[in-house]
Amino acid sequence: MKKLLTVLLVFTGSTFLFAQNFGRISGNFQTDFQYYLRDTLIDPLGEAYPDERLLGTGFLNLTYQRDNFIAGIRYENYQNNRVGLPQDYKGEGITYRYARFIKDKWDITAGNFYEQFGSGIILRAYEERGLGLDNNLDGVRTIYTPMEGLTFKGVIGRQRNFFEKSNTIVRGFDTEWSLRNTLQWESTTNVILGAGLVSKFQEVTSPFYTYPQNVAAGAFRGTVITPTLNFSAEYAYKANDPSTDNEIIYKPGHALYISSSYTRGSLGLTGEIKYYDNFSFRSEPNTQPQQLLIGYLPSATTLHTYALPALYSYNTSLTGEQGFQLGASYYFKRGTPLGGKYGLKVEASLAQSYSLNKDYEYRVTAIDSVTNLPTDSTVSGTDGYTTNFGLGPIKYFQDFHIQVKKKLSKKVSITGTYYNFYFNSDAIRKGTAGVADYQLYPNADNPNGLEPNAFPVNAIVLDILWKLKPGHSLRTEIQGLWTDGQDDRFGGDWALLLLEYSIAPHWFLAVQDAYNYGNGLEELQIHYLSVNAGYTLGTTRLQVGYGRQQEGVFCVGGICRVVPASNGFTLSLTTNF
């Protein structure tokens, strides 16, 4: 707390010294608290009932800018971290500070920074506070732009590891060339080419395996942009990188990600293809699933925001996967038979993810003294597997949904969505942490039928917005989700009703009831009732809440965390200045 007071005093005093001619200070602040109540129905073991009943987190960002110079710091406080977030965030301190100088063709940063090369496959240092993920680099970044459209980047540093830093040094170089800007094309078409190289230097000792000290990954990418079509592709290669993610195998990694979009008139089309083969890339080979990730693997799936469909979001498998997503949208204009008076928009999407087609290479670790036959074997210490062309035998995930948006009158708008999922619980919930397919399914050579603990999910969401009078609106969500009783984790079938009343620009009040009527245990067929209210004044927002929170999944870009069921009061305050 003393550190925070010192920071506030220094920067508050500075505002009197730095007038318009002496620079500008800006920033933002956020704090979140939860007071936990004992609820033996939804939390019989007390996992979401910590010894310290009131848990809170907070941060303060401060940025100073004058001419070509920018500097900033971030103070973070976890007293203690809320249940469901990484508990290694414990304590307080200045976790992010930097100085940046931009002039002519140079952009130099010393200290902490975020950076991404291309789509992020070989390097993505970023923050996702809702997941408790922050893998920023602490070191030096240099950006050089010798001519318009051509950029070179160089980075070196160590990644943040909660309140510490990784022992591994990450080094990277990237270049990107926008041909249209450099060559001054008059055409509306642009071609962007890029390439990057990232390596890590690690010192890992093991009594059983030899870990490489230097591991490099390189990528090539290209993008074509026209008024109607965008197309981009990136291929990456990574040297052998044994870790707990891949069961300590020595196979090189490969990654291919392609995305495209087409728009013409009322029609929109999108497509993504992914192929990830042993491409887990971390600063340290043995760590928590979400920690110290150097690279990022785009999920090629939709991020769902409605509460019930979000329970079955997809978590990218770091051990290898392949798949695609196809999307289409069409807007029926006003005055047409389907568009009617106010128009109609229809969107549909299909995404599928499969295992790779693998032949495993086993290493014998024990021989039966009587039969002289192997009794135990593993892929660890070998190249792991070889791959064959085509989809693998294990289907991880499928997401088909279709959404219709329609304005019924000047005051009423409606959005209806139908979802159909195929959810392989073993692969997504276990495989994400690095469990290999051969462990999940020892007899996975039969692709017919559902795999163990995989099931279909159907859901419907109806979202209705009423504009009652100027500044006053009522939004209603009606949700239903059905698993035919096949998912014990989230309790089978659900119904949800949300009423949210807003008075612009200041107030909102929301009441939600999630009813787990299809739970296999009758005593758990209960209501999760919650109430939230918020007030906004300028750039400051205060929100308070009370009620039960069902267990769920929160995902961003194919990276997920499970939020446990809990009961209690919440408070959140955010402001920008």
Query: Could you tell me which residue, 391 or 237, shows the higher pLDDT?
Result: 237
Confidence (pLDDT) at 367: 76
Whether residue 264 sits in one domain with residue 198: yes
Asked if residue 121 and residue 5 are part of one domain, the reply reads no
* Residue 13 host element (H or E): helix 2-17
- Indicate whether 370 belongs to any domain: no
Per-residue model confidence (pLDDT) at position 360: 83
Q: Are residues 4 and 42 in the same domain?
A: yes
Task: Please report whether residue 387 resides in a domain.
Answer: no
Within this chain, do residues 48 and 158 fall inside the same structural domain, yes or no? no
Q: Which residue has the higher pLDDT, 108 or 130?
A: 108
Percent helix, strand, coil in the chain (nearest 5)?
10, 55, 35
Q: Where is the domain boundary, 248, 270, 296?
A: 296
- Choose one of 251, 273, 296: the last residue of a domain: 296
Number of domains in the chain: 3
> For the chain, what's the residue count?
577
The reported pLDDT for the residue numbered 363 is 83
Give tens-digit pLDDT for 173-213: 999 999 999 998 888 999 999 999 999 999 988 888 899 99
* 348 and 265 both lie in a single domain: no
Q: How would residue 452 be classed by pLDDT, with cut points 50, 70 and 90?
A: low
Whether residue 317 is found in the same domain as residue 457 = yes
Looking at the structure, do residues 354 and 439 belong to the same domain, yes or no?
Answer: yes
Q: What angle do CA 470, 474, 480 make, to 5 degrees?
A: 160
Q: Domain check: are 534 and 401 in the same one?
A: yes
Does any domain span residue 6? yes
473 shares its domain with 501:
yes
Residues above pLDDT 70, as percent of the chain: 92
Q: Within a domain: residue 577?
A: no
Residue after which a domain boundary falls, among 42, 63, 92:
92
Quote the pTM value: 0.89
The closest alpha carbon to 72, from 115, 108, 111, 103, belongs to 111
How would residue 20 be classed by pLDDT, with cut points 50, 70 and 90? low
Reply yes or no on whether the pLDDT at 97 is more than 50.
yes
How far is it, in rounded angstroms, from Cα 144 to Cα 151? 6
Q: How far apart are CA 308 and CA 312, in angstroms?
A: 8
- Both 547 and 477 in one domain: the answer is yes
Decide if 211 is inside a domain: yes
pLDDT at 223 over 90: yes
Residue 1: the pLDDT is 46
pLDDT for 315: 85
Q: Rounded to whole angstroms, how far apart are CA atoms 366 and 374?
A: 6
With a cut of 70, say whether residue 342 has pLDDT above it.
Answer: yes
Q: Does a structural domain hold residue 134?
A: yes
On whether both 165 and 242 belong to a single domain, the answer is yes
Same domain assignment for residues 250 and 292: yes
Cis omega (within 30 of 0) for bond into 146: no
Let me know if residue 38 belongs to a domain.
yes
Q: Is the pLDDT of residue 569 over 80?
A: yes
Instruction: Please indicate, yes or no, if residue 322 is contained in any of the structural domains.
Output: yes
The mean predicted confidence, pLDDT, of the chain is: 89
Full residue range of the structural domain in which residue 345 is found: 299-358+397-571
What's the mean pLDDT in 13-29? 69
17: confidence class by pLDDT, cuts 50, 70, 90: very low
